[in-house]
Amino acid sequence: MKTQPQTSHISVLMVCLGNICRSPTAEAVLRAQVNAAGLGDYITVDSAGTSDWHMGEAPDVRSMQAATTRLYDLSSQRSRQILSLDFEEFDYILAMDKQNLRDLCAHCPIDHQHKIELLLSYGNTGWTEVPDPYNTGTEGFELVLDLVEVACSAFLTHLIEKHNLPRQQYKHS
């Protein structure tokens, strides 16, 4: 079987509505997994929202607290709205739910539509969307972490295989 040549740089954008709960969590989780795999020189991760409701704000304090208990750091992140240039610059644009997927597709040039998909299309969580925890309690933020950890792990395995990245110590769990 012929493998594709190794890609020098892969960029991933995680997207939810306000960029204060789900997408910052997904960004932190995937970044931590990428770094644990020794692939920080190959893969960069960012996040954005489809709305401008929280531009410049830190992630929701409940997201930061839940993430901290699992040793993820969201403290340096600030909300931003997706830009037209993002469709060009990012290799993968992963939406947290179907509404944000539709919104992204509605604004994305046709030649970049192939980059957009649901994060939970990776992994076997039994869920199709990462639910918005904003109006829930602690359990909602824990569920986001549970789903995102599984999906990001499967997505990273996909990147390693598709782009022929060095496997080093990373193993999909």
DSSP class of 17: S
Residues annotated as part of the active site: 16, 22, 132
DSSP, collapsed to helix, strand or coil, labels residue 53 as coil
C-beta of residue 137 within 8 angstroms of C-beta of residue 120: no
Cα(46)–Cα(173) distance, integer angstroms: 23
CA distances to 65, 71, 104 from 86, in Å: 29, 28, 11
